[in-house]
Structure 1
């Protein structure tokens, strides 16, 4: 931002806010594979409610396995009423997910496959979830935000944002060309698409 000879005085707080905003914009640009994430938890005996991972993106749950057994997703109403056709189900409720049947013992592995959200960078040592190849685009987006706040620099700001968009599109095109890698490094297998029409109320 200094290299662009901006005239305004911008605090470190401003700069971090623009960087964080730019990271979010970059993550929302496309359906990136790196946002697909696999996390694990352990069951507790007779417990059905567990907290979601801290970086879970609302609406981003893909599927859940408990002790290697996949659970089908259903809505809360069907979950609570028992109106579903599967032996094992899960549902989302606020910042928790619910599973049935509950585990008969502690320590069974829960595999959670979901889309994550970027966590705001606070400290200088914090690392973004975005890959290194996106850094140039993110910096250009942040610079564009900065320049558009400067008198008579709106056109320069738009140029930086357009260049950032072009870089992100190139990265997306490469991802599409490579194909096959969903971001789970081969850990995820799901039969959820087989269930697609089995419970139309979900």
Structure 2
């Protein structure tokens, strides 16, 4: 759903729940964005594993991270189909390292430095939910998550009212149950993590079995 549709749905549920408070549209947008983050943090979802690519520039070693990159979530990089592994900054500068990268601030640095233009850089990373601002913005979450997201947002709203904590907890519990169903279905159904046809390492072609959640 678009942000405006989330707000419309939330408004309808707030009215149906017979709340007595008044909240601005900005309040509701904030609750929706918070709920999207909570849904994304519920499990290591496959849709958060992402592949992007762009081209090198000759003699340029540093490039900006993707706008939706989650800090700490760069898994590995390929340059001209050669896999580069992530290392610390100190290790990056060691003379005996090659085909590596390191993260410095909002940039990643490649070693060796590309010696020509237009080599393909493939990035494999974990995404973060980008806040929805415009009415037509859509989240990175699949549409199956729309219902639990709205329920979480309604739970936030009800928590702000006196004597409505039980109702809020009910909405949140139902949202968590829906997310658990989606998580279980994702693990049960065959499929890839989103890197099919791009990654050659079995780390990214096989579905995970345990993330400690």
Q: Give the TM-score normalised by the residue count of structure 1.
A: 0.90
Mapped to 1, the partners of 2:20 and 2:166 lie a distance apart of 15
Q: Which has the larger displacement, 178-187 or 139-148? A: 178-187
Aligned counterparts, 1:10-159, within 5 A: 10-84=23-97, 87-159=98-170
Mapped to 2, the partners of 1:53 and 1:16 lie a distance apart of 24
1:163 corresponds, among 174, 180, 191, to 174
Question: Structure 1 runs of 4+ off > 3 angstroms?
Answer: none
Q: Tell me the CA shift for residue 162 of structure 1.
A: 0.3
Mapped to 2, the partners of 1:188 and 1:3 lie a distance apart of 48
1:19-76 deviations in Å (ceiling 9; x for gaps): 0000000000000000011111210111111100000000111110001111121111
Mapped to 2, the partners of 1:25 and 1:186 lie a distance apart of 30
Which residue pairs with 2:210 in the alignment?
A: none
Would you say how many aligned residue pairs link Structure 1 and Structure 2?
191
SS of residue matched to 2:39: helix
Q: Does the C-alpha gap of structure 1 residues 3 and 94 become closer, same or farther in structure 2, counting only changes over 3 Å?
A: same
SS of residue matched to 2:75: strand
Mapped to 2, the partners of 1:129 and 1:45 lie a distance apart of 33
Which residue pairs with 1:176 in the alignment?
A: 187
